[in-house]
Structure 1
Amino acid sequence: MAALGTAMVAGRRTARPRLAAGATAFLQMTLFTVLGVVLAYALAAQSGALWDQRLAAADRAIGFDWPVVLRLLDMAPAVIWVLGLAYHSLTVQMVVVIVCLSALSKFDTLRTAVCAAILSGFVTILISGLTPALGNLFDPSHYRHLWPSVAWVEQGLIAGLRDGSHHVLDLTTLMGIVSFPSFHATLAAIFIWAFRAIPRLSVPGSAWAILTIIATPVFGGHYGVDVIMGLILAPPAIMLANRLTRRRPSPQSVGAVLPA
């Protein structure tokens, strides 16, 4: 954060707006990540009854049969690798979006994307505090090729937060523990919108983010309704962020373009 803050100040003082914009975006996302995950941990430690049964019932009601999906996916190792890498590349996608938008001087799109990510992130964390869940767990030992999901790996952490046995936060190993809604899905949807402003990456970048969304239930250990709700949150977050970050012209600049 010190390095990013230095780059931000240097960019502003040396009239290099692309450096300043990129460093500012990375600094904002880094601060949000630290604060957001700590807030998620605190809410998990104070949350009530788990919602897993209700979320699983909602999945069944809309036709998600995860045992069948997992069995079919386990028969396609190449697909597992593609989807697994897409899911775990969300941070890389964020880096690509910020670097490309700042390099192309797409500052309005960059501000909106970062603001939307932060707004939706805090909303998902707050909702998850009201609807705590362990996640759509499956035992990877029952399959030949499937990787363990994040929810499977972190179930001990969530249990420790809930019973009070885990009460020390190591800022170097913080993990995302939000189940409903899926912030992975929300952020990937925001990146699809942002990639549209990068001509050469519009199609491949959008495809990359779409694969991330498809992979989220399996590799994130999310229910289908988690992902659906995450996708629903993206458009209003983008619209609100666009309003909040819109640059209004100064009175001097308005007077310069209006007829006398």
Structure 2
Amino acid sequence: MAWTTGTSTSELDDGAAAAQMPVERGHSGTWRLFRRPAHLLYAICGVELVGSVGLALSMGFRTAGRAPLLPHVYCVMLVLCGPLLRRIEKPRMAGAFETVGFLYGQSFALAALLYPMTAIAGPFADAELSSADRALGFDWLALANMIRDRPLLLSFLWIAYLSFNWQGAVIMPALFAVGRSARAWVTILGANIALLATILIYPFVPAQAAFTYNGISSAQYPNMTAQVAWLTAPAIHAIRDNGVRLITPDLLVAFVTFPSFHAAAAVLLVWAAWPVKALRWPFLLLNLCMAFSALIVGAHYLVDLIGGAFVAWISIVIARRVLKGFPSPA
């Protein structure tokens, strides 16, 4: 079954509306407690926040000073705008605010889980990841050497890499504007599943990242303004090998190499934007660039990107199956 809007079958995904029957609001079954997808996301994010923070605290992790609360406050405010806007009969605007809030808020809910996963991480798997790249015929070092002396290209890749931060805030409102709210909620749940999956897989395949593994220092790559590529290995060593449990700013890094969440996000964002004709091709191109940028700016191996894309595909499949019984997509 698919979600119904109470207005038009055009809001159902993939043209399947004609073959689907509406679900009664009083339906029984797995989702009896959740009348809307937002209710399920409230529950999931709440469990993730309590679980990840609780696990981190139980393993002795603490923050140095106060944790930055402002981003969390913004996300909560966006999500809470949903019920308020529904009270004045603005369901599409409500859904847009909620989905954007959930999209960014769930990353904060799961952030604390990275530290316990790092503490239990196994040996670095760079040799295996690099060997897998070579088996695919991909030479990361040759690519890095080719890009090294091209500052304009590096700047472009950095911009593409950072587009990860704002794309969702464009796509979610656009989906509600064209009546594709069901697809927006599948994207949000899919992103949550993909993020959780990448974090849980990470301790089995931790990596120093490609620059460090290949012995290229930041001084040898002077045109790279961002230091993201060199921060992972020291942070993992500090937590896993040296027992550091005080989270200082130098430990606020992107720990996960395999599978790449940037690659997973690229797949999810393209899938989300596809029904919006004005966004389809620009966002396809942008996300191809974003995924490619992860090879250099994020120091990922090619297999990291392949793994991330596969995680995204599985996450979309799961999210669609989970949400197809909901009575309201808004």
Q: TM-score range by the shorter chain?
A: 0.7 to 0.9
Alpha-carbon distance between aligned partners in 1 of 2:109 and 2:316, rounded to the nearest angstrom: 21
Aligned match of 2:293 = 215
Inter-CA distance 44–103: structure 2 relative to 1 (3 Å threshold): same
Counterpart of 2:261 (choices 165, 171, 183) is 183
Alpha-carbon distance between aligned partners in 1 of 2:167 and 2:104, rounded to the nearest angstrom: 14
Alpha-carbon distance between aligned partners in 2 of 1:234 and 1:73, rounded to the nearest angstrom: 28
Alpha-carbon RMSD: 2.2
Aligned match of 1:227 = 305
Aligned match of 1:74 = 148
Secondary structure of 1:239's aligned partner: helix
Alpha-carbon distance between aligned partners in 1 of 2:258 and 2:199, rounded to the nearest angstrom: 9
| Alignment of 1:23 onto 2:97 | yes
Give the number of equivalent residue pairs: 249
Inter-CA distance 149–198: structure 2 relative to 1 (3 Å threshold): farther
Aligned match of 1:163 = 241
| Alignment of 1:106 onto 2:106 | no
Does the Cα contact within 8 Å between 1:113 and 1:238 map onto a contact in 2? Answer: yes
Alpha-carbon distance between aligned partners in 2 of 1:168 and 1:24, rounded to the nearest angstrom: 33
Secondary structure of 2:255's aligned partner: coil
TM-score (norm 1): 0.87
Alpha-carbon distance between aligned partners in 1 of 2:246 and 2:98, rounded to the nearest angstrom: 30
Does the Cα contact within 8 Å between 1:149 and 1:220 map onto a contact in 2? Answer: no
Letter in 2 for 1:167: R
Alpha-carbon distance between aligned partners in 2 of 1:245 and 1:135, rounded to the nearest angstrom: 36
Letter in 2 for 1:38: A
- How far did residue 102 of structure 1 move? 2.7
Counterpart of 2:118 (choices 18, 21, 44) is 44
Aligned match of 1:198 = 276
Secondary structure of 2:210's aligned partner: coil
Alpha-carbon distance between aligned partners in 1 of 2:325 and 2:276, rounded to the nearest angstrom: 21
Aligned match of 2:316 = 238
Alpha-carbon distance between aligned partners in 2 of 1:61 and 1:181, rounded to the nearest angstrom: 18
Alpha-carbon distance between aligned partners in 1 of 2:95 and 2:252, rounded to the nearest angstrom: 26
Aligned match of 1:90 = 164
Letter in 1 for 2:145: R
Q: Which range is displaced more, 90-99 or 181-190?
A: 90-99
Inter-CA distance 16–168: structure 2 relative to 1 (3 Å threshold): farther
Aligned match of 2:85 = 11
Alpha-carbon distance between aligned partners in 1 of 2:168 and 2:248, rounded to the nearest angstrom: 23
Does the Cα contact within 8 Å between 2:261 and 2:308 map onto a contact in 1? Answer: yes
Alpha-carbon distance between aligned partners in 2 of 1:35 and 1:166, rounded to the nearest angstrom: 22
Letter in 2 for 1:8: G
Does the Cα contact within 8 Å between 1:139 and 1:148 map onto a contact in 2? Answer: no
Inter-CA distance 248–80: structure 2 relative to 1 (3 Å threshold): same
Alpha-carbon distance between aligned partners in 1 of 2:84 and 2:327, rounded to the nearest angstrom: 25
Letter in 1 for 2:189: C
- How far did residue 146 of structure 1 move? 3.4
Alpha-carbon distance between aligned partners in 1 of 2:270 and 2:302, rounded to the nearest angstrom: 20
- How far did residue 233 of structure 1 move? 1.8
Does the Cα contact within 8 Å between 2:207 and 2:257 map onto a contact in 1? Answer: yes
Greater helix content: 1
Does the Cα contact within 8 Å between 2:231 and 2:253 map onto a contact in 1? Answer: no
Alpha-carbon distance between aligned partners in 2 of 1:197 and 1:87, rounded to the nearest angstrom: 23
- How far did residue 113 of structure 1 move? 0.8
**1:163-216 alpha-carbon deviations (Å, 9 max, x no partner):** 345323469x84331110001001111111111121111111111111001111
**1:55-84 alpha-carbon deviations (Å, 9 max, x no partner):** 122222222222211121123322222222
| Alignment of 1:152 onto 2:230 | yes
Aligned match of 2:66 = none
Alpha-carbon distance between aligned partners in 1 of 2:76 and 2:199, rounded to the nearest angstrom: 26
